[in-house]
Amino acid sequence: MMAMRGFFVAGICALGIGAFAGNGSLAQAAPYDNIVKKMDALQSQNPDLISRFELGANDQNQMIYGWRFENEATRAPQKGPVLEKSKQLVVGVHHGNEQLSADVAFQFATDLAREMTQATAPNYPKIANRIFYVIPVLNIGGYNAGRREEYNRNGRSTDPNRDYPDPCYDGPTFTLSSTRNLAAFMRTEGIVGSITIHGYIGTFTYPWGIYTNNTKTQDNAWFVAAARESVKQNGYSTGTHADAIYPTAGAYEDWAYYELGAWTMLLELRNGANVQKDSKAMMTFFAQVPTERSYNNAHLGRCTNVEGVIRARP
């Protein structure tokens, strides 16, 4: 009964009636076990391309799974120099009530399997020689319950998307095992480009989203051009997180850029989004990501006062 109740709540919280499945049809949003089954099925169809990995357990000892994509045919020849492939990451469901983000992550994974292996695919030349990681659900407990936040080991409800270090805020960080594991993974794997999926506004945005007097990074011109090219696929609005949505502190997208120099984007799905178009927008972005991290990622602005309760972006 509880499982069915969680399934029902999850679907209602996503869009009011349900979420779009990978084939574009309307269906109730699936709980975590179903997303894992769908990803595993995709892996079984592409055994030479996809493998499953463990990100680590959350504070309820539930294992967070991700899937790795690499086209072995694009490896450097043994006799020549071994060039490290650029690594990219997609993360869905920081917020458990944004159910559709998992479906978009799955749609992207499905499209990625085709684009990385078919030489005639539009983005094959730019993405086939890269490694991709897809983590469809970071906040398992929130996803299964249709609840925005996640419980830490002390039973405190915590917003995962304000649990990261921030150049303009000294609040507690990495209080959740899920965010701590994700950060460790990004550091270890040397992630170069990343998209995190949320909802439901209809924007595709980039740093800064912090409390600063200058919301534009030193890489602003690149971000503007890459975002505008990407949203030709889905018609979303673009801009910095702070300008297009509102500023906050402790968000993944700003942390990954300011600490690691990763080229990070925040995809805010439109309510009732077309998952195929959103997947294409993501693919277009990754085809533009440089092969190395940014070296111009320092925050040079002046931090402004954080007043009242910090709101996390949707």
How do residues 249-271 score in pLDDT, each as one tens digit? 999 999 999 999 999 999 999 99
d(CA 180, CA 103): 24
- The pLDDT of 290-302, averaged and rounded, is 96
The whole-number pLDDT of residue 211 equals 94
* pLDDT per residue as tens digits for the range 57-77: 999 999 999 999 999 887 655
CATH architecture of 2-286: 3-Layer(aba) Sandwich (3.40)
* pLDDT per residue as tens digits for the range 122-177: 999 999 999 999 999 999 999 999 999 999 999 999 999 999 999 999 889 999 99
d(CA 99, CA 199): 9
Prior bond of 200 cis (ω within 30°): yes
**121 pLDDT higher than 70:** yes
Say if strands 63-69 and 87-92 run parallel, antiparallel, or are unpaired.
Answer: unpaired
Domain coordinates in residue numbering, the chain: 2-286
The whole-number pLDDT of residue 57 equals 98
Residue 307's pLDDT band (boundaries 50, 70, 90)?
Answer: low
d(CA 219, CA 193): 14
The whole-number pLDDT of residue 314 equals 47
